Amino acid sequence: MTNSPPPPLPETAPVERTPSARRRPVGAVLAVLAVAVLAVNLRPGATSLGPLMEQVVGAYGQGAVASGLLTALPPLAFGALGLLAVPISRRLGLTGTIVASFVLVAIGLLLRPGVGGFGLFVALSVLGLLGPALGNVLVPAWIKLHGGARTVALMTLYSVALAIGGSAGPALAVPLAGAAADGWQDSLRFWGMVVAVPVVVWAIVLTRTGHDFPPAPPRGTFSGSLLRSGTAIALTVMFALQSMNAYIQFGMLPQILTDAGISPARAGLLVAVIAGWGLVGGLVMPTVIARARGLSWIVGGFGVLTTAGYLGLLLAPTVSPLLWACVLGIGGFAFPTAIALLPARTRSPLITARLSGLVQPIGYLLAALGPIVAGALLGVTGAPSTVLWFLAGSGVLLAIAGFRAGLPRLVDHEIED
């Protein structure tokens, strides 16, 4: 894993490939439509698989190992493929990269349900995650470049639509499958058809933007390593810890709650409550970041709430589990906050792209280690409480990283030579 940022654009980059040469600006209506349809489609290809996992692995004669592989695939793909976002977009532009990658996403999601081998199913699943992996990195930079005075509003829309899409995948998976034995194929294929919408919309956007990778700065400006930026490092750690918590909450928390004496139906509802708060966080945090003073205390407080929620489940799991679920849900505001801080803590769109290209891929790769550690703790001790203690400790680290990321400092200034 490398934390080295991409090198600056060469000085010989042709002028016609810079944003200044695009034919027309992206209008407000088109920008809103583009961000909304893309954000909604960044998660369902991954999240729609979970409720259908038993049918999928059974159809291919696989077992628990295959289920674990498919569960770990999204964060691993988001991390590894996300590292390619900035290099590819240098050649194709931000908009061009999104269009091309989502064409491949549509192919992958449409073809994977009908293939005969599990290996090919996994390969097409990775292809279906390519667009979301690149989009995770590029959309904040695109909004920074094209949003103008609408940047905060577009980041709010992006965060909310991202949460809606992530929830829609698992919510619709079983209803779309129906009662047929092979209904899971139609359910998974549905999201490949839906992906056609952002492809069309962003192709229209491309006719306006042309090649829109941010232009190279003057020699010696903003060319320093992002590792020189305490803000960049803090954001990466913050993003990794919150993403790790989210994956463990969705994958392991229902069983932990059930082992603590809560009914399976109620355990599932409590996890849904935690996820539901993400919509609120996506709606309010971009505006809070743009206007609030003392932001570092607010962001650090999300880590404190995360620790408090897990301690509540440890010490009084059946007394008021809904309260602890709400506390954890508000602590989860750290995720939309980290996304909104990418443009808020940068001035140049190029630095936004570089920062996003560090924070999200590395963050997702680190987050993928969390479920492995949690599973190992559970396997060695046999006590679900050890996982909750592990997560409570991660909340302390999240509070420290969030406090540092919330300080009013620009990454551009921290790395400037």
Query: Which residue type sits at 229?
Result: S
Mean pLDDT over all residues of the chain? Answer: 86
C-alpha span between 330 and 303 (Å, rounded): 10
Q: Write down the residue that tokens 């060319």 correspond to.
A: 223
The structure's pTM equals 0.80
Whether 14 shows a pLDDT value over 50: the answer reads no
pLDDT, position 4: 41
pLDDT, position 379: 81
Domains, in order of start, for the chain = 16-209 (1.20.1250.20), 226-415 (1.20.1250.20)
pLDDT, position 223: 63
C-alpha span between 334 and 389 (Å, rounded): 19
Whether 124 shows a pLDDT value over 90: the answer reads yes
- DSSP 8-state secondary structure symbol assigned to residue 2: -
Q: What is the band of 23 on the pLDDT scale with cuts at 50, 70, 90? A: low
For the four alpha carbons of 360, 334, 229 and 90, in that order, the dihedral sign comes to positive
Q: What is the band of 417 on the pLDDT scale with cuts at 50, 70, 90? A: low
Question: C-alpha dihedral over 221, 222, 225, 229, to 10 degrees?
Answer: 130
Q: What are the tens digits of pLDDT across the range 62-102?
A: 887 787 788 778 888 999 999 999 899 999 999 999 999 99
pLDDT, position 34: 97
Closest CA to 33 of 157, 196, 159, 192: 157
C-alpha span between 13 and 319 (Å, rounded): 63
Q: What is the band of 381 on the pLDDT scale with cuts at 50, 70, 90? A: confident
Whether 384 shows a pLDDT value over 80: the answer reads yes
For the four alpha carbons of 407, 334, 132 and 123, in that order, the dihedral sign comes to positive
Angle between helices 295-315 and 264-291 (to 10 degrees): 170
**Cβ of 365: how many Cβ atoms within 10 Å?**
19
Please compute the mean of the pLDDT values over residues 110-132 and round it to a whole number: 94
Please compute the mean of the pLDDT values over residues 397-402 and round it to a whole number: 97
Whether 245 shows a pLDDT value over 80: the answer reads yes
Closest CA to 240 of 1, 414, 39: 1
Q: What is the band of 218 on the pLDDT scale with cuts at 50, 70, 90? A: low
pLDDT: which is higher, 17 or 210:
210
For the four alpha carbons of 95, 98, 101 and 105, in that order, the dihedral sign comes to negative
C-alpha span between 329 and 303 (Å, rounded): 11
pLDDT, position 94: 95
Question: C-alpha dihedral over 168, 169, 170, 173, to 10 degrees?
Answer: 110
Q: Mapping DSSP to helix (H, G, I), strand (E, B) and coil, where does residue 217 land? A: coil
C-alpha span between 3 and 1 (Å, rounded): 7
Whether 2 shows a pLDDT value over 50: the answer reads no
Contact 141, 214 (CB under 8 A): yes
Closest CA to 414 of 234, 286, 293: 234
Contact 303, 399 (CB under 8 A): yes
Both tokens assigned to 106: 């549509």
